[in-house]
Structure 1
Amino acid sequence: MINYRARRYRCPKCHKTFMESNPFTVAGSRISLATVYNILEDLRKPNMTFRDVAERYHISQTTAAHVFDSFVSISRRPLPEYLLIDEVYAFKSAHSKYVCVLVDFETQNIVDVLPSRRKQTLMDYFFSIPLEERKNVKIVSFDMWETYRIVSKIMFPNAICATDHFHVKQEFGRKIDRVRIDVMNKYYSRKKYLEKKKEKTKTEKLELKEASKHYYALKKCNWMFFSNDNRIFDPNEKKIYNHTLEGYYNYYDILEFMVRHDSVLDLAYDLKYELDEFYSRSNEKNALKNIEELIISFRNSQIKEMMDFGNTLVKWKYEIVNSFVPANGRRISNGLIENRNKSIKLLKHSSNGYLNWHRFKTRIMYSLNKDSTYHLYPIKNKGDFTE
């Protein structure tokens, strides 16, 4: 606490009075500038809420929010050469429940945040940016959302569109998981049918035991279909006794037990290997040839989910090929923006949501961009804050 008594001066000629400059606070405020700066530094952390800051510095929650609004104002950044676009479920409004995030692939900074991913919102936003600036964009990377492709082709005349491997494999993961569930349900139905039979033959008892084992493995070890853990692919890993499977197994053995006893799942998993190989051995020169061979494999599989994924590859073929075009020596990826989306969700969940869109957007830019800063004094035309 500082008990400060300001001097008042009077002009000997015109007799007007004025107060001396207060070095501790701004006009109309009861909290010191040092406290204001501490509040703003704490609000850099996405997990810190206005309530946490208010309790720490003995002010009201409204004052903490008003301090932030008065000292922090962040404009959009210039469009980068390599632009990442993605959405995140973070701010629900009457127009949309998704927030569209724009990220610079090179600097890893958030360029801007938009309240919707709808086509009209994106078109209006990019139209407000000068054409010369939009022409500087070389690559736009996004997931398989058709709106992004349409908008990118119209708004960025010199850019190529790319769909990175993260979202392609994510889409494939949904398809192969559907195959796994169908096979698991087949074993489950057979298991339930045999359990209801009062009298079982010796063959049926063995069949029931096998169906139970397969159902257990497909139910409990489904994560192996999506993991890149090296232990899954090493048959020489140490084996541990599994009571349900009644034998010694390592991860490799369990995966083989799941996929090799069903022809559909076996083929689907082999196609997963082909997809992984496509991304590991392809480059800017041979990607188009390799993806055409991959499409043939998926379309000839006779498995509905795999054939559907083959059609997806056809639809996004050129965007997938463009993802191999290097961005300053690196393959462009939306993995960075997924990390930013996680932080945005943390910011939202820790505060139980935001109602003020401008404050939410500013908080995102302020917390996630390391070089973002605040003003030393209240921003003009925003008004003073009081306790």
Structure 2
Amino acid sequence: MKRVVITGAGTINALGHSVPETFAAMREGICGIGPLDMRDVDRLSIRIGAQVRGFDGDARFDRQQRTLYDRFTQFALTAAQEAVAQSGLEFDGDLAGRSGVVLGTAGGGVGTWDDNYRAVYEERRNRVHPFTVPRLMNNAAAAHLSMAWNLQGPSFTVSTACASSNHAMAQAFALVRSGMAPAMLTGGSEAMLCFGGVKAWEGLRVMSHDACRPFSRDRSGMVQGEGAGIFVFEEYEHARARGADIHCEVAGFAMTSDASDIVMPSRDGAVRAMRGALADAGIALEAVGYINAHGTGTAANDRSECAAVREVFGDHAENLMISSTKSMHGHLIGGTGAVELLACIMALRDGVIAPTIGYREPDPECALDVVPNMARETQVDVALSNAFAFGGMNAVVALRAI
């Protein structure tokens, strides 16, 4: 089995339009959540979100490209450009023939769906643009990344709600580890902050009207975000031979299904996923220093996740740092695991633990070190990134400093 490392990272999210901007915001504990700026916001009961502000798709993409690119595809291409440039890879010849793309998204082109429903049902138009389907399909972003960088190997999209990015990165990791691909672009993208996207989530009654406060006793729910995180996963010897700058090693992963409830999380499913990721990586639980939690800011998730961490790690749970960066960049749904992986890279490479901001009151059922409100400088060697999705679909990625 091959070793797998990360040699490139790119992002666009509510905290920044690049990895350095995002790291700086995480270090400072900046909140990217604010009032929503969108059409018909007055018809929404939830009027906050972590929007990507200052993004000019018209300036970045030409008219023909914008005809084909939903906002989620634009985010993915923007983040991928940073990741590939940072990696220093040039995809041609055999490298292009064997490398590919695996991306996660829950909704795909939700903005395109929303616009066309308005056109057909509200404005009573009888025709839509001929490229509507290529814009809205879930695999659109993966397809355009493969075309932009001549990636001719395995390319596909994973859609498992809030675990989509972690599932996608697990598949990319498996492809490189098996030797099937020398390098893969992977991560996730989501752009669900449009009227229909927010209105659908309102119906679940899990949304906060004011802030995302994971693990805090006075939490009031989750807050939606948008954006993308894209990474270059590369075979270790391939990266070392060309003198690549390596962020960290992807050491293992595990995927489980609760097989119990469509929306309520299961402690057992989370326990098996974390234990499985450690076993797959061959890592002792005492080696783990940081967990980027799923941490949505709902009582059901926060309490079951903390209980799962205590069950897996036992006495070592008292030594762990566990934070939820959703408090800053919101819940990117299918793209969330990709942006959260950045916090793990920052911990392993730079020795900076991103905080859980908005924390005000201890919850006895979440009595762990949640790195409240302020980032912490300390070196860790192993980190886990948790994702637990509706449908009971769990995916945990284990990473190691190198």
Q: Which has the higher strand share?
A: 2
TM-score normalized with structure 2 length? 0.23
TM-score normalized with structure 1 length? 0.24
Q: Which has the higher helix share?
A: 1
